[in-house]
Amino acid sequence: MHIMEGYLPIGHAVGWTLVSAPFLAWGIKSLTRQIREKPEARLVLGATGGFAFVLSALKLPSVTGSCSHPTGVGLGAVLFGPATMSVLGFVVLLFQALLLAHGGLTTLGANTFSMAIVGSFVAYGVFRCGSAVRLPFNLTVFFAAAIGDLATYVVTALQLALAFPDPVSGLNGSAMKFLGVFALTQIPLAMVEGLLTVFVMNLLRGHVGEQISRFVPVLNGTVR
């Protein structure tokens, strides 16, 4: 989902940065508040950031014959809320833009929007919906992570379609092309992300849960 450095026209680059900025400001506020109010949860917060680091570094082969990577933001979005997680996702993207030439500074706004913001908010929304209709907890976590991951790639495809409409078939035509590259590839990988998120959630609930579920209620299997 990384739009490469320089690959968004300048207007789009600035536009997506402006769209992402308020979410990040909100996220930083919520992150600092959480660290202040529940310092006991810092280690788990670090672990969810770590999870996003690992997953977004794993480029996995997919059925379309190309490689892509999960995002890892679903776990943190479910545990600490989407605003906080969007900051952690942004840190991952910044690291990759600066040190790996993966993504870029001019496309950081757009990539932050798709992965850190939409990914987190969709994952959180799915989690809340699943909990509201009383789906089993692990199934809800699976759907939250998988659908959040898929949403990220759909947004990336649409961002590119918006910047590069097909000269013949217009926006729809180019959207189909970019979705063909990103969304199809992502379907099995989104499932992998869902499975791994449930796995780590199980470990966290098993080993960490009872000790800090006061601060991170989801670890107790309950929703705020």
Partner 1 sequence: MNLKRQNLLLLFSGLVLVLVPLFTVKPEKEGDELFLGADDKAGGVIKELSPGYKPWFVPLWEPPSSEIQSLLFSLQAALGTGAVAYCLGYYRGKRRALHDDDPARY
Structure tokens at 136: 């089993």
Least gap, CB of 147 to partner 1 (angstroms): 16
Which of 15, 49, 81, 89: binder of partner 1 (CB under 8 A)? 49
Give me the amino acid identity at 49.
G
Q: 162-181 mask for partner 1 (x: CB under 8 A)?
A: --xxxx------x--xx--x
Count CB-CB contacts under 10 A for residue 16.
24
How far from 135 is each of 1, 140, 190, CA to CA, in Å?
Answer: 29, 6, 19
Scan residues 139-158 and list those touching partner 1 (CB under 8 A): 156
Q: Please say which residue, 125 or 220, places its beta carbon nearer to partner 1.
A: 220
129 touches partner 1 (CB under 8 A)? no
At closest approach, how far in Å is the CB of 118 from partner 1? 17
- Check binding of 11 to partner 1 (CB under 8 A): no
> What phi and psi, each to the nearest 5 degrees, are found at residue 165?
-65, 145
Stretch that binds partner 1, among 19-27, 43-51, 79-87, 119-127 (CB under 8 A): 43-51
Q: What span, in angstroms and rounded, lies between the C-alpha atoms of 193 and 148? A: 10
| 38 to 32, 76, 126: CA distances (angstroms) | 10, 15, 25
Closer residue to partner 1 in complex, CB, 22/185: 185
Binding mask 89-128 for partner 1 (x = CB under 8 A): ------xxxxxxxx-xxx----------------------
CB 111 within 8 A of CB 24: no
Q: In angstroms, what is the minimal distance from the CB of 36 to partner 1? A: 20
User: Residue 105 carries which side chain, given as an amino acid letter?
Assistant: L
